[in-house]
Amino acid sequence: MRALSRTRQEARAGWLMTGPALTAIGLFFVLPAFASLLLSFTDFDIYSLANLSNLRFIGLENYERLIGNPLFWQAMGNTMWFVIIGVPLLVATSLLAALLVNARTLRWRPLWRVALFAPFVTTLVATAVVWNYLLHTRYGLINYGLGKLGIGPVDWLGNPKTALPAILLFVTWKTFGYNMVIFLAALQSVPRDLEDAARVDGAGAWMRFRHVTLPAIAPTVLLVGILTVAGMFQLFAEPYVMTQGGPARSTVTVLYFMFEEGFKWWNLGSGSAVAFILFLCILAVTLVQLKVARRAGAI
């Protein structure tokens, strides 16, 4: 009886401790997500905002309209390019930076950590203005450097073929510092004796990384991959600030399309449908990542 009473007291204490967090999650995540799902089955628009009696249940019409909308599929294609190219590029850049900063031979390591992490905490609009200048067709420093190599100027943000890679380069530079810090924490937890033993056995830098470091930080690589996938699927601010979705809508992402549907054209029901489709895409890719990680033994 005493054991049962103690178990109940521990369970009650656990619920009391987690209650505020669960309440916050329910109010600020579960409830809004459920409300958004319900709105996706309605024609909620600016007229419904004025008078809720104008709100009508329309079933799957928003989803059917999106499936038949070529602009939605263009935004989905642009987003997939960001995910397919941006995720490996960002993860690799972050891991490489963490390895360099964690190197024993590097001097002034705290200074390098601050310098590499600084872009992440810098205001997006300020950095976007700087990069717009760097990528300027006539006055940009990048085209100036290319000119010194005998290469003609490139309209980085005005050409549909180069606008997306240019934004992707900016996103990588802006956000890799956050992932670098996560990788750095994982690298510092790798046992030094394992690396020293591999070095004594004659293993080179690549072999030590492949057989000692990488298996030890595999769960962290999975975590960073999942976070980066979610971030790339939700890319909005960078194309909005730098290109406003142009040129020729070549940089419009799914989240940008959702913004236009919900807050430019006030089709809030359609915007909610886009949000739910985006959620399903992120969930599907995350489940695939988890499945691959289990097969590889990362988790």
- Give the pLDDT confidence of 243-282 residue by residue, as tens digits: 998 898 999 999 999 999 988 888 889 999 999 999 999 9
194-241 pLDDT, tens digit each: 777 877 777 777 888 888 888 889 999 999 999 999 999 999 999 999
How open is the CA angle 170-126-102, to the nearest 5 degrees? 55
Contact 260, 69 (CB under 8 A): no
Residue 264 has what pLDDT? 86
Residue 11 has what pLDDT? 73
Q: Is the pLDDT of residue 80 over 90?
A: yes
Residue 2 has what pLDDT? 62
Residue 174 has what pLDDT? 94
Residue 256 has what pLDDT? 95
**Which one has a higher pLDDT value, 44 or 253?**
253
Burial of 203 (0-12, 13-18, 19+ CB in 10 A): middle
Residue 220 has what pLDDT? 92
- Residue 287 inside a domain? The answer is yes
Burial of 29 (0-12, 13-18, 19+ CB in 10 A): exposed
Average pLDDT value over all residues in the chain = 88
109-124 pLDDT, tens digit each: 888 888 999 999 998 9
Contact 177, 100 (CB under 8 A): no
Question: What is the rounded CA–CA span in Å between residue 284 and residue 288?
Answer: 6
- Our separate counts of H helices and E strands in the chain read 16, 0
**Average pLDDT estimate for 68-76:** 94
Question: What is the rounded CA–CA span in Å between residue 262 and residue 79?
Answer: 18
Residue 281 has what pLDDT? 93
Sorted by sequence, the CB contacts under 8 Å of residue 21 that are 6+ apart come out as none
Domain count, the chain: 1
Q: Rounded to whole angstroms, what are the CA distances from 270 to 34, 38, 41, 138?
A: 15, 11, 8, 41
- Location of structure tokens 């958004």: 36
Q: What is the CATH number of the domain that holds 87?
A: 1.10.3720.10
Q: Give residue 216's domain range.
A: 57-295
Q: Calculate the CA 252 to chain-centre distance.
A: 16
Model confidence at 1, pLDDT cuts 50, 70, 90, reads low
Model confidence at 138, pLDDT cuts 50, 70, 90, reads confident
Cis amide prior to 153 (ω within 30 degrees)? no
Question: What is the rounded CA–CA span in Å between residue 72 and residue 50?
Answer: 27
Residue 87 has what pLDDT? 95
3-12 pLDDT, tens digit each: 656 777 777 8
Residue 3 has what pLDDT? 61
- Residue 27 inside a domain? The answer is no
- Residue 31 inside a domain? The answer is no
3-class state of residue 69 by DSSP: coil
Q: DSSP assignment of 145-175, as one string?
A: HHHHTTPPP--TTTSHHHHHHHHHHHHHHHH
Helix (H) or strand (E) holding 238: helix 237-242
- Residue 233 inside a domain? The answer is yes
Nearest of 237, 209, 219, 137 to residue 182 by alpha carbon: 219
Residue 13 has what pLDDT? 76
Residue 88 has what pLDDT? 95
Contact 39, 272 (CB under 8 A): yes
Model confidence at 164, pLDDT cuts 50, 70, 90, reads very high
DSSP 58: -
- Residue 84 inside a domain? The answer is yes
Question: What is the rounded CA–CA span in Å between residue 98 and residue 114?
Answer: 12
Residue 131 has what pLDDT? 92
Contact 224, 179 (CB under 8 A): yes
**Which tokens go with 34?**
């459920």
Q: Is the pLDDT of residue 25 over 80?
A: yes
Residue 49 has what pLDDT? 73
**Which tokens go with 166?**
């240019």
Beta bridge partners of 57: 42
- Residue 259 inside a domain? The answer is yes
**Which one has a higher pLDDT value, 48 or 127?**
127
- Residue 66 inside a domain? The answer is yes
Q: Is the pLDDT of residue 32 over 90?
A: no
Question: What is the rounded CA–CA span in Å between residue 213 and residue 194?
Answer: 9
- Residue 178 inside a domain? The answer is yes
Contact 34, 245 (CB under 8 A): no
